[in-house]
Structure 1
Amino acid sequence: MRKITKKIIATAMTATLLGTGCGVPSPSANDVNSNKAAQSSTKKDPIKLQYFTWTAGSMSAIEPMIEKFNQTNEDNITVEVVLKTGEWQTALKTAILSGQAPDVMHGVQDITEALSNKWIEPWDAYLEDDFKKKIDPYSYKVSVDGDFNTYAFVWGARTYKLAYNEDLFKEAGITELPKTWDEVYESAKKITEKGNGDYYGFGLSSSVAGSAIPFILEPIGAYEGYYKIGYDFNRNTYDFSYTKPYIELFRKMVSDGVTFPGAETLDNDGLRAQFAAGRIGMIPSVSWDCAAINDQFAATCNWSVMDWPMAIDGENKGALGLRDMANYFLSASSLNKEAAAKLVQFMLEEDYQSEMLSKSTDMSILPWALEKAKDKPESPHKQWVQYSPTEDMVQTSKVVLGVQLTGDNESTTVAQLIAVPSMDIDSSLAELSKRYNQGIYEQAKIDEEKSAASRVKIDFLGKIMSVKNFDAKKPIDPEQIEYLSADEWKALQP
């Protein structure tokens, strides 16, 4: 594995040579060593940094690795980890506005707001050249005032799978994992029949509060060729009609009694708790469920995960998104930006990233982390490696689509359509698409006013993102992104 080359600053010094015949005694070896030690100890002034994070579940990996950085870095840098959970956005914004912003921030509430107010600045001027080249494919870049720079990094992700109960599959005589939705239905039916009311084949959560519907629609939409659940970049429009055959399938599963009872009142936590208790054969799952099912809900069953089923017509039009996000922002008010860059390089390198991966706290997508993790102790949870990203998955962090939505969102609408068979699917989805398209237009208009009043010109503010030569099976190429005004976008609508 290639290591980052350290920059060495050589300082020229003028030495006065003293002749031995001038009555000046030569220094002893102890004096020389003491002098070297004194020079070494005073060579670097101490630097203190603050790293702000909201990821309480990752602290078992973060704390020892930050301590390792504090002990091993050659620049006398000491990092303090500031953890805020719950309403962490409010705490962070308060710190920023009071002039006490942490040097490095795991996230910000609103990137546009942070850019507009110059709370954050690019990393590019502070990172080492070799590292910039290495991390470039995983960088989050934005054009501000005409300059296209790196403001954060996309290193973590959440993957989509189906979690399944090994014991219930075995009892039902299922020897091959389902690969299609028809096979999912058949497996769920067999498990339910074998359970005879004690357990059921499939779990749905469609409660308005804490529904798991988004974690169903996101991977389904991705395989149907959509981004952000229902946006079609080829036609530059929202279109939720693709969900119809899935809604019909879930209605059938509910009416046939192969789903766990009470989906309309069951939130995502309740769904995972019932699965952990061994009462459900399969549930839609995201990689963060690994620790939740095993630890939070203390699973008593033997369980694993399988690949997400292919598109319902048997042809995947797109690739699964990683539900990734941009992290590690540099505070513009930091007094130690070069030191902050050293910390971030450490956090993005193989040792730190693989530590989080091996401890089941974060799903790194960096290839050097995946390779290094092979040399570390296995995760205490066997399912963790099964959630690992695969090469055919794509990043989605470059997608910026703001919507000023009126009425129910897609999750609530789909949940209602599943729960109420009398609702007309076609008209409901058409209305949903219409409201989303009106919402994206209205949001762009609102942002146009913000952009006009802002001192900072952000390329996407007040615009609607479009992608030339869009291919839903590949990551979006930044060079193919363009931004349309609200009216330009509206003119393209079918």
Structure 2
Amino acid sequence: MDKLKKPAAVLLGLAMTVGLSACGTSNDSAKSSTAPGANSSSPTPAAKKEKTKLVYWTFQRHDADFIQEKIKKFNESNKENIEVEMTMMAENYAQSLDLAFTSNQAPDVFGTFTPAEFSAKGYFEPLNKYMTDNIKKKFDGMFNENDNMFNGNIISFPNSGATLRLIYNVDIFEKAGVKPPKSLDELVETAKKITEVGKKDGIYGWSLPYKSPASALNRSLMPMAALNGMSDGYDYKAGKFDYSGWKPLIEALRKMKTDGSTLPGSESLDMDPMRAQFAEGKIGMYISYSVEPGVYKNQFPPKIKWDAAPMPTIDGGEPKGTAGPGGGIWLSMSSKSKNKDAAWKFMEYMYSDEMQTAYHELGYGLSVVPSISKAAKEPNIPGIKNFLLTKYDANWPLSPQGLKLEGKTWQEEFGGYILVGGDLDKIIQSVNDRYNSALEKGAAAGTTKKVVIPNFDSKSLQGK
């Protein structure tokens, strides 16, 4: 039988090893799965190779059942007698990895996360020496410095990306007589109309998982800015950070809070509790990734009809940029693994054409690997159609990475304004000053590099 672990237990075990007193959460968001029979007490034949046990950590919840099933198949079929145990840590993932590496309990393979930060900490084992000719051909041209490669050391391979769309409750839209908004003004007005119609039934026009500003705004404010030609706050022509162009986007989210269109309690919601509210029909719309169809199919069967539409632009016109699907990273090998050859065997399996094709076709992610996306069938999952790649889904150049920022992040600053208000001009100026100060210090210390593209044009990123 599969073993279940709560993150409180996982974190507490790590914390006790390094002498920390408390670092868990009460969230039931981590579980381990071992193939049936893995703990059998039956004797092992003398000629059979000794079992090699690997630990795999992931922060992805939407594909957990699929990955568990594939790991079970690997455990039962691999000839090297390798057994993989998976831990799904949807909350406190970065903190848990830090504790695991500090206490010499790091997983052998883990979902790649904050690559610049974790590369600087030495968490990644370079994969270059493991790469076969077939792997080099498959991922040719897909390795980028400060993304999945650092100083020439490849730390992860591409798999699938995630497009971003406005997800909306079709039933309440029809009842309110509104259509998916195309501009920021329409976004605010649509949320207001939905709330007017649905408030008596506990239905509100808008929500985001504001408990985590990064989760809320990385999936909404940042891609909307990119779609409007402003990337992640970095000005490639000037070679500096400038968030001033984000002002109308931030103000739109603030308006939906002050006019009562935002679901009450959104400031205390993580993503899954918010999804549960949407599935119950209590939220009119929100912005998120193309993982949502899989989530609603497997975790939160909706009681309402829903669909996805393009994110609004500032003025309702054609996008001036693109919202990048990412996809350059997926799995990494731990530099502290004691079984690196076995870990590579597992990674080979996970990156196999069969595995990546199934991942794409079942809708867990949209493959960015050309050999997979060209041969695979269109994902077979309700709601995925309007998430499929368009000319407006393309990655931007990488902005400077590895900044050592003093004070709050832009997500914390802008998230605070959206929820409680303040002087937005001063907040934006403070964010600009601190990010540029970190950029200058990092460039001087050699820990980061400025990126300057004098003739950069965000519209040139768009496909044909």
TM-score (norm 2): 0.72
Is 1:162–1:283's contact at 8 Å kept on the other side of the alignment? yes
Cα distance between partner residues in 1 of 2:312 and 2:425: 24
What's 1:212 paired with? 216
2:237 is the counterpart of 1:234: yes
Please list the CA deviations of residues 214-263 of structure 1 after superposition, one character each: whole Å capped at 9, or x if unmatched.
422111221232333x1112211111111222244345445555x13547
2:110 is the counterpart of 1:105: yes
What's 1:29 paired with? none
Shift of 1:346: 3.2
Cα distance between partner residues in 2 of 1:254 and 1:209: 16
Cα distance between partner residues in 2 of 1:390 and 1:296: 27
What's 2:458 paired with? 472
Shift of 1:342: 4.8
What's 1:394 paired with? 394
Please list the CA deviations of residues 149-182 of structure 1 after superposition, one character each: whole Å capped at 9, or x if unmatched.
42211323333211111111222334x5433334
Residue identity opposite 2:142 in structure 1: Y
Structure 1 unmatched ranges of 5 or more: 1-43, 449-460, 477-494
Is 1:53–1:83's contact at 8 Å kept on the other side of the alignment? yes
What's 2:183 paired with? 180
Which of 272, 277, 282 is the matching residue for 1:274?
277
Please list the CA deviations of residues 36-59 of structure 1 after superposition, one character each: whole Å capped at 9, or x if unmatched.
xxxxxxxx9788463522246333
Q: Specify whether residues 341 and 132 from structure 1 end up closer, same or farther in structure 2 by C-alpha distance, changes over 3 A only.
A: farther
Residue identity opposite 2:451 in structure 1: S
Residue identity opposite 1:107 in structure 2: T
Is 2:183–2:313's contact at 8 Å kept on the other side of the alignment? yes
What's 2:66 paired with? 61
What's 1:21 paired with? none
Is 2:209–2:274's contact at 8 Å kept on the other side of the alignment? no
Residue identity opposite 1:354 in structure 2: T
Cα distance between partner residues in 2 of 1:84 and 1:327: 14
Q: Tell which deviates more after alignment, 142-151 or 132-141.
A: 142-151
TM-score (norm 1): 0.68
Q: Tell which deviates more after alignment, 201-210 or 132-141.
A: 201-210
Larger radius of gyration: 1
Shift of 1:353: 1.8
Cα distance between partner residues in 1 of 2:95 and 2:191: 44
Is 1:233–1:467's contact at 8 Å kept on the other side of the alignment? yes
Is 1:156–1:363's contact at 8 Å kept on the other side of the alignment? yes
Superposition pairs for residues 328-339 of structure 1, below 5 Å?
A: 328-332=331-335
2:357 is the counterpart of 1:354: yes
Cα distance between partner residues in 1 of 2:311 and 2:94: 33
Q: Tell which deviates more after alignment, 429-438 or 82-91.
A: 82-91
Which of 254, 259, 262 is the matching residue for 1:260?
262
Shift of 1:344: 2.9
Which of 276, 280, 284 is the matching residue for 2:287?
284
2:194 is the counterpart of 1:191: yes
Identity percentage of aligned residues: 28
Q: Specify whether residues 345 and 139 from structure 1 end up closer, same or farther in structure 2 by C-alpha distance, changes over 3 A only.
A: farther
What's 1:152 paired with? 156
Superposition pairs for residues 41-120 of structure 1, below 5 Å?
A: 48=52, 50=54, 52-55=56-59, 57=61, 58-69=63-74, 76=80, 78-83=82-87, 85=89, 86=91, 103-107=108-112, 111=116, 114=119, 117=122, 120=124
Describe the SS at the equivalent of 2:414.
helix
Q: Specify whether residues 331 and 275 from structure 1 end up closer, same or farther in structure 2 by C-alpha distance, changes over 3 A only.
A: closer
Is 2:138–2:371's contact at 8 Å kept on the other side of the alignment? no
Q: Specify whether residues 313 and 291 from structure 1 end up closer, same or farther in structure 2 by C-alpha distance, changes over 3 A only.
A: closer
Shift of 1:415: 3.7
What's 2:21 paired with? none
Shift of 1:327: 2.9
Is 2:279–2:302's contact at 8 Å kept on the other side of the alignment? yes
Cα distance between partner residues in 1 of 2:313 and 2:55: 41
Superposition pairs for residues 389-468 of structure 1, below 5 Å?
A: 389-390=389-390, 392-395=392-395, 398-419=398-419, 423-444=422-443, 448=445, 462-468=447-453
Is 1:127–1:342's contact at 8 Å kept on the other side of the alignment? no
Describe the SS at the equivalent of 2:223.
helix
Residue identity opposite 1:136 in structure 2: D
2:359 is the counterpart of 1:374: no
What's 1:168 paired with? 172
Q: Specify whether residues 442 and 372 from structure 1 end up closer, same or farther in structure 2 by C-alpha distance, changes over 3 A only.
A: same
Please list the CA deviations of residues 341-374 of structure 1 after superposition, one character each: whole Å capped at 9, or x if unmatched.
4543432233212333445544543344445653
Is 1:51–1:81's contact at 8 Å kept on the other side of the alignment? yes
2:121 is the counterpart of 1:135: no
Q: Specify whether residues 49 and 317 from structure 1 end up closer, same or farther in structure 2 by C-alpha distance, changes over 3 A only.
A: farther
Superposition pairs for residues 299-338 of structure 1, below 5 Å?
A: 299-312=302-315, 314-324=317-327, 326-332=329-335
Cα distance between partner residues in 2 of 1:287 and 1:94: 31
Describe the SS at the equivalent of 1:318.
coil
Is 1:126–1:337's contact at 8 Å kept on the other side of the alignment? no
Cα distance between partner residues in 2 of 1:396 and 1:326: 15
Describe the SS at the equivalent of 1:83.
strand
Is 1:178–1:309's contact at 8 Å kept on the other side of the alignment? yes
Q: Specify whether residues 196 and 103 from structure 1 end up closer, same or farther in structure 2 by C-alpha distance, changes over 3 A only.
A: closer
Describe the SS at the equivalent of 1:466.
coil
Residue identity opposite 2:286 in structure 1: I
Shift of 1:203: 0.8
